[in-house]
Amino acid sequence: MSTPTVTRPPTAGEPHRAVRRPPHGLAATDVPRTSSARPWDRVRFTGPAPARASQDPPGEPGELPDPQQWAGALVRSAVEALLGVRPTAQLARWLSAELYDSLARRAGLAVRVLGRPAVARRAMVRRVHVCEVGPGTVEASVVVHDGERVRAAAVRLEAHRGRWRATALEIG
* Digit-coded pLDDT (tens) for 68-126: 999 999 999 999 999 988 999 999 999 999 999 999 999 998 888 888 877 778 899 99
Residue 14, pLDDT > 60, answer no
The per-residue pLDDT for 30 is 46
pLDDT above 90 covers a percentage of the chain that reads 51
Residue 22: CB atoms within 10 Å: 12
pLDDT at 32 over 50: no
Q: Which class does domain 45-171 fall in?
A: alpha beta
Q: What is the per-residue DSSP string for 51-116?
A: SS---SPPPPTTTSPPHHHHHHHHHHHHHHHHHTSS-GGGGTTTB-HHHHHHHHHHHHHHHHHH--
Residue 12 has pLDDT above 80, yes or no: no
Q: What is the domain partition of the chain in residue ranges? A: 45-171
Beta bridge partners of 153: 142, 171
Q: What is the pLDDT of residue 1?
A: 52
pLDDT the model gives residue 59:
45
What average pLDDT is seen over the chain?
A: 80
pLDDT bucket at 38, cuts 50 / 70 / 90: low
Q: Are strands 163-171 and 18-20 parallel, antiparallel or unpaired?
A: unpaired
The answer to whether residues 8 and 21 touch, using CB atoms and an 8 Å cutoff, is no
Work out the pLDDT band at 17, boundaries 50, 70, 90: low
Q: How confident is the model at residue 33 (pLDDT cuts 50, 70, 90)?
A: very low
pLDDT of residue 50: 67
**In terms of Cα–Cα distance, which of 51, 77, 42, 67 is closest to 135?**
67
